[in-house]
Structure 1
């Protein structure tokens, strides 16, 4: 847990007259996040890469409608998420790789409880969906997962309807890649290699024709690992406000489980003072798709339909 001394030291470091007192959330995707987190690894002992994603996810909670966040608010996001990440890492400390790997050190496997523990603790969205299949590149000797993903039947009806209308793909033939996580110890091309192995797995099954996944550019993701693995961007999705409950991000799926009588983010925020939604404009999400057999078509921007959430 972060000590008062650590927080004070970080606070003093960032109250530099040469740095702005506020910044815009879109800046957090580039140089500002790097500057904001310069002290994070030596001070807090957490993965910088993971802390960057969690910081980007929670910054909009503190931003005004123009996207401005004060330094103290930004620092609060970093410190609180660093503390949570330390606790999360501690919960699965026996599963965290102790050395760096090359692809030759790893093998593809279908995995179970270990993947659930890693994804439930370290993935920024946490819990995987029920009925998911988990796959991983694991250490050939110890079986420790290094790069993981979770795949489940597509449930998102608007996406399913668009795929059926535009490509003639029935919903039951489409599965969704809902979680991907890679430890810092993984080789640079581990995710694209894992995705290629997952595709081969479904080729052998024969009942799935397409895989989908969501890429959120607001968190700094570009989809490069997907483009390297026969995936293409087919659909864009209008951004929905992020929801936070007691200061932590909450997905719509988690909200519906925790508050079954609540129908929308705005309704929850009106009913419970502990709930808060982002007010800054967010960029649209992207739906990347991968055909199980054959090349995946590349669509021009005008062919990529924009759907509502």
Structure 2
């Protein structure tokens, strides 16, 4: 595990979302010489109802048994396979410390340049896909629906446009589906043929 305050500072200043998820457990791969982190991630109890329902229906894992790798950040000095190594440590921690946890999941968005290579290298499997929705920008800075809900109490775009006017912009480019990767904390994570991947709505 890694210090919450230090992780918060890194995620809020360096991560592209500029935010940390409340209620997270933080982990880091630390350089033995400098004592500084080279890669970090946060694990958060799953709070996405639609995803939780799909995982329970298709893979037999109850939503309360699922943890979301909600933030990942790697410094330029991170060695090759740093994220994969960190994820392996996270899985071992959950095996040891959280007997009630059965599955780790994460969302990989190719529209942001992410490929999922580190997850596949750590034996995660693509289990679901998610239909894209337009990106939103507040004062020309990317903002997530979660951040909008926290700040303004809603994610309804019509309501937000009325309140924020030109401060809120929406992308118009055609977007690709995001991928949901899963990794069972104990046992083998079964692969799913691409043709068999269920597609979720946001």
TM-score by length of 1: 0.63
- Equivalent residue number for residue 54 of structure 2: 162
- Equivalent residue number for residue 189 of structure 1: 81
- Equivalent residue number for residue 91 of structure 2: 199
Matched position secondary structure for 1:279: coil
Find the aligned partners of 1:263 and 1:149 in 2 and give their Cα distance. Answer: 26
The structure with the largest strand share of the pair is 2
1:252-300 Cα shifts (integer Å, max 9, x gaps): 011011111x341343124322111112221111101100012211101
The structure with the largest helix share of the pair is 1
| Structure of larger gyration radius | 1
Unpaired runs of 5+ residues, structure 2, are none
- Equivalent residue number for residue 190 of structure 2: 297
Q: Report the number of matched residues.
A: 200
Superposition RMSD on alpha carbons, in Å? Answer: 1.2
Moved over 3 A (4+): none
1:133 to 25, 35, 40: 25
1:170-201 Cα shifts (integer Å, max 9, x gaps): 11100000000010011011000000000000
Find the aligned partners of 2:75 and 2:134 in 1 and give their Cα distance. Answer: 29
Find the aligned partners of 1:209 and 1:300 in 2 and give their Cα distance. Answer: 22
- Equivalent residue number for residue 66 of structure 2: 174
Unpaired runs of 5+ residues, structure 1, are 1-108
Distance 1:181 1:263, change over 3 A: closer
> 2:148–2:155: 8 Å Cα contact kept in structure 1?
no
1:230 to 84, 102, 123: 123
